[in-house]
Amino acid sequence: MVTSEETQTTKGGENGDEKNIYAELEEIAASTSECVRVVIRIRPLNEREQNTAPCLEVGDGGRNIVVNDQGNARKFTFDSIFPIDGKQEDVFRNVAKPIIDSCLAGYNGTIFAYGQTGSGKTFTMQGPEESIHAQSGDIRQLRGIMPRVFEYIFDSIQKEKEEKGTAVDYVVKCAYLQVYNETITDLLTPSQHNLNIREDTLKGVYVEDLTEETVKHPEDCYRVLRKGVANRTVSATSMNQESSRSHGVFTVIIERKEEKPDNLVSKRVSRLNLVDLAGSERQKLAKTSGQTLKEASNINRSLSVLGYVIMALVDASNGKERHINYRDSKLTFLLKDSLGGNAKTCMVATVSPSELNLVETISTLKFAQRAKYIRNKAYVNEETTGSLVQLQAEVRRLQDFVRQLLAERESRANHKPEVERNSNELVQLMKESESESTMDESNQEKSFEEPPSRNSSFLQSNADDPEELSKLLACAEQQSQNENKKRKANFELIDSAWKKLTEKISAMGCKELGDSVQSTNTSGEETESPTLEQEEETTRRLCETVEMMTNILQTKISENKNMKTQLEEKDAMLYNLQMETKMKDVHKEQNNKDASNSFLAIHGDSPVLNRLRKKIADNQETSGFQKKELVDESQLDYRELAQVEFLKERLAELLQSEAKQGQTMQKLNAEKASLEKSVEKLKAEVNFLSEELQAEKENAQLLREQFSERERNVEQSKDDSTQMEEKIQHLQSKVRSLQTYRVQLQRLVDQQSEEIKSLRMRAQNAWDELIHARQDFESQERLRSDRLEKLFAELARKERRDAVTSDRKAAAYVIKEQMKQDLQNMSNGKDSNGIPPLEPLMNKALEYLLKQASTPKVASSS
Ligand SMILES: Nc1ncnc2c1ncn2[C@@H]1O[C@H](COP(=O)(O)OP(=O)(O)OP(=O)(O)O)[C@@H](O)[C@H]1O
């Protein structure tokens, strides 16, 4: 298992041994890897979609799905497809059962439902709430994967216990959490909020302090499920009345202990994750707002990160070197083992059949198609006390360390540009999905765990302890990753500063500077991980440009000062002109008054003069009367005529001067208006420039601060890098000694296994010999018992014969005694009468009789 955020690489170490072991381990891992299973489930049309046309068709064999994309048929292939009328039972058998069987055999497993909001994820994973408690009837058939999983697990355990008795023991626990707005909450103890994800070499990824309830029956699990569901965040959207606004992860932990005959105790711990993801949605369609909108963008963001992780994993499966950013979201970090790690995983992608949801359906199918290429490396999580398994785990762990160190060194040595994808199909897929994606890809908050404090790290630790060493390595890895992230963030900062500068420069219209900035700006280039040198170079250029910009601003400021002086001069001119105009007005008024006064001073009282007087008086207000209206010259005497002549001339002069003054006034007014306008314009320009200047000053100050901060960071990074290099070298030497130790251990183990093998062989031979001896013994035993039986039979016969013989012997002795007596009697009576002695004769006869008696004969015949 790969233990932390990783670079998947196939490169080996430096020394030959390392390479061999590494290659061997890789081979083992590759041979056990398998792809994620992906199935599609189509839900029935809902009320809103009743009158819409279907856009999906399940192809022959139930593995192809054809989407009608506005007349174009697009075909996708998956492991299984469940049509509209697909049963919950079928989904369980096809999707969940194989995974639970693996979990019971010690593998980790994950089933996760992905799809558009309202497409049936919760229905598939959980089923309607009332179905969970239903004891019978149609509603019970609607139970989703989760309740069926609980029942199946306890049934299987029961069966095994019946078979193996007390030798096996199980402990089952359940945990339930939700990821809501990038925060993990324990659904079984909701007060436990904002929990942290941790990673352990042996345990894998886990959530710290998460409640784990021990369960003994399926009913206990239902209770836990109900409790969690009640605490889960659900809201009504226009797409779904009960829309899950969080990612729900229900985990079943199965611990199995078995006592084996040869005093070995095997312990397996497997984890089954049942994940109901929040639905992807287009805000426009879901018509969300306020809190629901915020939730939606968080959901979309975490699903986007999931998409990126899957893309990177697909690349890694194709042999590319890719960094997998599991830590970019809580969801992906949580699912790390399930995606490309130590677990058997199945994804259920749920879709709507209606053309209304065509875009989301195609997006889901593309996402699912990509997930098919992820390769997981699941292994049995077994620990056997006193076995080689511990050593194997140690080897696996060391393999991870070596891999991390190599990746670290590699990435430090050269930040290689990302390798182009080979597979055209995938490139096409990704391009399409990137352009069509409805997910909110911008403003992604790159959240990452803070590394453990520096003080707690390398120098104070006991580097001889492999476990400590593993922690240190993880810490080093974490620090280096965070360094990279910081560096990337700084680079982004510089990039945005460049952009701002470029905008300002183009707003200022300074072409020369604009060109120079364009030619020096390299920060816009896509750089996955900028090197320290690149950063320094860019920072230097940025500083130079800021200096240039400051100079230009100084020039602008002095230009502005000149303009201001000119403006003030023009203002003064304008003021003078206005004063002049006023003076002229006063003068004109005085002239008019003079004229009227001189006319009014003319003596005489003719009606014409009176009219004239009146007109002139009026003229003081209107100044517009006509000469011909004034007088009827025929009615005037000569004095009056002279006065009239005088007045006429005076009037003509006045009128002329009035017309001239009118023209001058018009001109002056026009000039004044245009001057006022330009004053306004200049004032606005001055204001704008002053504001700009102020903003630029602030910007420059900010940039200076940022650059000095950056410089400090760079210095710190350099120190850190040097320190890190030293530490890595130190760790590498430790790892090398561990490698040697491991090789020694391996040799020892090989030796031991050789010895065990030869012992086994000897035991086998001894056993074989024993078997042969036993067979010989048994056949001899058989022979012996046959012989015994025969002997017994013989003995019986003999006994019978002996009995007869002894009877005969007794009779013979009786006869002998009788004959002895007779002979005695005879010898006593007629001894020496020439009768031959009878005793030897008798003895002979007796012997004969005895011989006869002891000769064996068949009992019956005898
Ligand atoms: N296969 C199905 N058969 C019958 N009804 C279904 C099926 N799939 C979904 N439904 C119904 O569709 C509605 C929405 O389903 P569900 O709540 O499971 O969607 P979801 O994908 O979990 O949505 P969200 O992401 O918003 O939580 C529910 O009323 C559910 O009962």
Contact 257, 169 (CB under 8 A): yes
Q: Which residue minimizes the CA distance to atom 9 of ligand 1?
A: 120
In a domain, 834, yes or no: no
Can you tell me which atom of ligand 1 is nearest the CA of 119?
A: 21
Amino acid at 367: F
% of the chain exceeding 90 in pLDDT? 22
Q: Region 423-427: what's the mean pLDDT?
A: 42
Closest Cα to residue 498, out of 538, 536, 555, 446?
A: 538
The phi, psi pair for 448, rounded to 5°, reads -145, 155
Contact indicator for 541, 491 with CB cutoff of 8 Å: no
115 SS3 class: strand
Ligand 1 atom at minimal distance to the Cα of residue 126 = 18
Q: Could you tell me the two tokens for 676?
A: 């006022």
Worst-scoring range by mean pLDDT, 53-62, 168-177, 770-779, 842-851? 842-851
Ligand 1 atom at minimal distance to the Cα of residue 234 = 27
Q: Could you tell me the distance, in angstroms and rounded to a whole number, from the CA of residue 513 to the centre of ligand 1?
A: 59
As a whole-number percent, the residues of the chain with pLDDT over 70 amount to 64
- Examine residue 84 and state whether it is found in any structural domain, yes or no: yes
Per DSSP, the residues of 219-269 read HHHHHHHHHHHHHS-EE--SS-TTEE-SEEEEEEEEEEEEE-TTS-EEEEE
For residue 610, how far is its CA from the centre of ligand 1 (angstroms)? 106
- For 761, the token pair is 């062989």
Ligand 1 midpoint to CA 46 (Å): 9
Are the CB atoms for 221 and 210 separated by under 8 Å? no
CB-CB contact of 279 with 119 (8 Å)? yes
Q: How far does the chain reach from its first CA to its final CA, in angstroms?
A: 92
Residue whose Cα lies nearest atom 3 of ligand 1: it is: 43
- Does pLDDT of 692 surpass 70? yes
Q: Is the pLDDT of residue 454 over 50?
A: no
- What pLDDT, on a 0 to 100 scale, did the predictor assign at position 346? 96
The pLDDT of residue 103: 95
Residues in contact with ligand 1 by the CB-under-6-Å rule are: 43-44, 46, 115, 117-123, 128, 240, 242-244, 278-279, 350
List the residue whose alpha carbon is closest to atom 16 of ligand 1.
Answer: 120
Nearest atom in ligand 1 to the alpha carbon of residue 86 is 1
Measured from the CA of 242, which atom of ligand 1 is nearest?
A: 17
Judged against a pLDDT cut of 80, whether residue 758 lies above it is answered with yes
Q: Which residue's CA is the closest to the ligand 1 atom numbered 10?
A: 120
From ligand 1's centre to the CA of 483, what distance in Å? 44
What's the confidence (pLDDT) of residue 518?
A: 57
Q: Which residue has the higher pLDDT, 590 or 299?
A: 299
Among 315-329, 384-398, 600-614, 833-847, which range has the highest average pLDDT? 315-329
Give the count of domains, the chain.
Answer: 1
Cα(249) to centroid(ligand 1), Å: 18
- Determine the residue of 132, 178, 240 to mutate for testing ligand 1's pocket, defined as the one with the most ligand atoms within 8 A of the Cβ atom: 240
Flag whether pLDDT at 427 surpasses 50.
no
- How far is the CA of 212 from the CAs of 54, 90, 168, 187, 189, in angstroms? 44, 30, 22, 11, 10
The answer to whether residue 512 sits within a structural domain is no
**Which amino acid would we find at residue 94?**
N
CA 747, 751, 754: angle at the middle one, nearest 5?
A: 135
- Indicate whether 84 pLDDT > 80: yes
Res 349 pLDDT > 60? yes
Cα separation values, 137 from 83, 90, 143, 220, 677, Å: 23, 17, 11, 22, 87
Q: Which of 7-11, 359-363, 397-401 has the lowest mean pLDDT?
A: 7-11
Most confident of 218-232, 254-268, 367-381, 417-431: 218-232
Cβ atoms of 113 and 350 closer than 8 Å: yes
Q: Which long-range contacts (CB under 8 A, 24 or more apart) does 8-11 make?
A: 8/316, 8/321, 8/322, 8/324, 8/340, 9/321, 9/403, 9/406, 9/407, 9/410, 10/319, 11/406, 11/410
Q: Assess if residue 720 is contained within a domain.
A: no
Question: In the predicted model, is pLDDT for residue 684 greater than 90?
Answer: no
List of E strands, 62-218: 64-69, 72-77, 80-82, 109-115, 168-180, 183-186, 197-200, 204-207, 213-215
Q: How far is CA 783 from the centre of its chain?
A: 77
Closest ligand 1 atom to Cα of 46: 12
User: Rounded to 5 degrees, what angle do the CA atoms 282, 285, 287 make?
Assistant: 100
* Span of 461-465, 791-795, 798-802 with lowest mean pLDDT: 461-465
Report CA(319)–ligand 1 centroid distance (Å).
Answer: 38
Query: Residue 691 pLDDT more than 70?
Result: yes
Return the H-helix or E-strand segment holding 506: helix 466-508
Do the domain assignments include residue 54?
yes
Distance 10 CA to ligand 1 centre (A): 43
Show the tokens assigned to 371.
């997930």
The CA radius of gyration of the chain, in Å to the nearest whole number, is 55
Residue minimizing CA distance to atom 1 of ligand 1: 43
The strand pairing partners of 7, in sequence order, are 323
Stretch 29-51: mean pLDDT: 83
| Strand locations in 98-150 (E) | 109-115
349 Cα to the center of ligand 1, angstroms: 12
In eight-state DSSP terms, residue 7 is B
Q: Dihedrals φ, ψ of 610, to 5°?
A: -60, -45
pLDDT in the model for residue 42: 96
**CB neighbourhood size of 240 (10 A):** 21
The mean pLDDT value for 435-448 works out to 35
**Statement: residue 647 has pLDDT above 80:** no
Distance 125 CA to ligand 1 centre (A): 10
Are the beta carbons of 285 and 119 closer than 8 angstroms? no
| DSSP assignments along 382-434, one per residue | EEETTSTHHHHHHHHHHHHHHHHHHHHHHHHH--PPPPPPS-HHHHHHHHHHH
For residues 132 and 227, give the distance between their C-alpha atoms in angstroms, rounded to a whole number. Answer: 13
Pocket perturbation via mutation, ligand 1, pick of 48, 85, 89, 123 by most ligand atoms within 8 A of CB: 123
* Ligand 1 atom with least separation from CA of 243: 26
Which of ligand 1's atoms lies nearest the C-alpha of 42?
Answer: 1
From ligand 1's centre to the CA of 306, what distance in Å?
Answer: 22
Question: Quick check: 716 pLDDT over 50?
Answer: yes
pLDDT of 87 strictly over 60: yes
More confident residue, 688 or 455: 688
- If one compares 194 and 460, the residue with the highest pLDDT of the two is 194
- Give the contacts of 725 (CB within 8 A, at least 6 positions apart): 412
- Mean pLDDT for 384-393 is 55
| Residue 115 assigned as binding residue | yes
User: Which among 575, 581, 651 has a CA at the least distance from the CA of 616?
Assistant: 651
Give mean pLDDT, residues 253-276. Answer: 87
Q: Which atom of ligand 1 is nearest to the CA of 277?
A: 25
Average pLDDT over residues 175-190: 93
List the single range of 82-91, 376-385, 479-488 with lowest mean pLDDT.
479-488
- For residues 160 and 397, the model is more confident at 160
In this structure, is residue 315 part of a structural domain?
yes
Give the three-class secondary structure for 81: strand
- Per the prediction, the chain carries an average pLDDT of 74
Ligand 1 centroid to residue 122 C-alpha, Å: 6
> Could you tell me the pLDDT band of residue 781, with boundaries at 50, 70 and 90?
confident
Spell out the residues 6+ positions from residue 647 whose beta carbon is closer than 8 angstroms to its own: 595, 598, 599, 602, 612, 616
In this prediction, residue 128 has a pLDDT band, given cuts at 50, 70 and 90, of very high
Q: Please state the length of the chain.
A: 862
Q: Is residue 519 one of the residues assigned to a domain?
A: no
- Binned at pLDDT 50, 70 and 90, residue 450 comes out as very low
Atom of ligand 1 nearest to the CA of 43: 1
pLDDT top residue among 648 and 48: 48
Residue range(s) defining the domain that contains residue 188: 38-387
Dihedral over alpha carbons 142, 148, 150, 152 (to 10 degrees) = 160
Least confident of 58-67, 288-297, 368-377, 750-759: 288-297
Separation of CA 191 and ligand 1 centre (Å): 29
3-state secondary structure of 464: coil
SS3 804: helix
Considering the domain boundaries, does residue 682 fall inside one? no
Residue whose CA is at the smallest distance from ligand 1 atom 11: 120
**Of the listed ranges 166-175, 218-227, 520-529, 552-561, the one predicted with least confidence:** 520-529
pLDDT of residue 437: 39
Q: Whose CA is nearest to atom 2 of ligand 1?
A: 43
Q: State the CATH number of the domain containing residue 379.
A: 3.40.850.10
CA dist., res. 392 & res. 29, Å (int): 12
70-84, 248-262, 420-434, 593-607, range with the lowest pLDDT: 420-434
**Residue among 47, 122, 348, 364 to mutate when testing ligand 1 (max atoms within 8 A of CB):** 122
Closest residue by CA, ligand 1 atom 12:
120
pLDDT at 281: 67
121 known member of a binding site: yes
Residue 676 clears pLDDT 90, i.e. is over it: no
Query: What would the two tokens of residue 131 be?
Result: 């179905």
- Top pLDDT among 703 and 102 is at 102
Atom of ligand 1 nearest to the CA of 245: 27
Q: DSSP readout, 734-746? A: HHHHHHHHHHHHH
Q: What value of ipTM does the predicted structure carry?
A: 0.98
- Amino acid 532: pLDDT: 59
> Is 435's pLDDT higher than 50?
no
Per-residue confidence (pLDDT) for residue 409, from 0 to 100: 56
- Top-ranked range on mean pLDDT: pick from 158-167, 372-381, 783-792, 799-808: 158-167
Strand 247-259 and strand 265-276: the pairing is: antiparallel
Q: What is the pLDDT of residue 19?
A: 47
Over residues 833-860, the mean pLDDT reads 62
Ligand 1 atom with the shortest distance to the CA of 278: 25
Ligand 1 centroid to Cα of residue 119, in Å, is: 5
Of the listed ranges 140-154, 205-219, 622-636, 824-838, the least confidently predicted one is 622-636
Question: How would DSSP label each residue in 805-860?
Answer: HHHHHHHHHHHHHHHHHHHHHHHHHSTTSSPPP-HHHHHHHHHHHHHHHHS---TT
pLDDT of residue 12: 37
At 466, is the pLDDT very low, low, confident or very high (cuts 50, 70, 90)?
A: low
129 CA → ligand 1 middle, Å: 12
Tokens at 807, concatenated: 């009877």
**For ligand 1, atom 15: residue with the closest CA:** 120
Q: Does 118 show up as a binding residue in the annotation?
A: yes
120 annotated ligand binder: yes
Can you tell me the mean pLDDT for 102-114? Answer: 94
281's tokens: 């949605």
Determine how many CB atoms are found less than 10 A away from the CB of residue 510.
19
Give the residue, by CA position, lying nearest to ligand 1 atom 23: 118
- 319 marked as binding residue: no
Other Cβ atoms within 10 Å of 138 Cβ, number: 8
Mutate to test the pocket of ligand 1, among 40, 41, 43 (most ligand atoms within 8 A of CB): 43
Is 404 or 513 the better-scoring residue by pLDDT?
Answer: 404
Span 252-258, average pLDDT: 94
- pLDDT tens digits for range 526-578: 445 556 566 666 666 666 666 676 666 667 667 777 777 777 777 777 777 77
In eight-state DSSP terms, residue 93 is I
- b/e sequence 519-558, b meaning 16+ C-beta within 10 Å: ebbebeeebebbeeebbeebbebbeebbebbeebbeebee
Residue 119 assigned to a binding site: yes
Residue 447: pLDDT band (50, 70, 90) is very low
CA-CA distances (angstroms) from residue 4 to 75, 189, 338, 843? 37, 28, 13, 115
Question: How far away, in angstroms, is 523 Cα from ligand 1 center?
Answer: 47
Q: Which amino acid is at 486?
A: K
Separation CA 150–CA 220 (nearest Å): 9
Looking from the CA of 725 toward its CB, the CA atoms found within 13 Å total: 9
Q: What is the pLDDT of residue 14?
A: 40
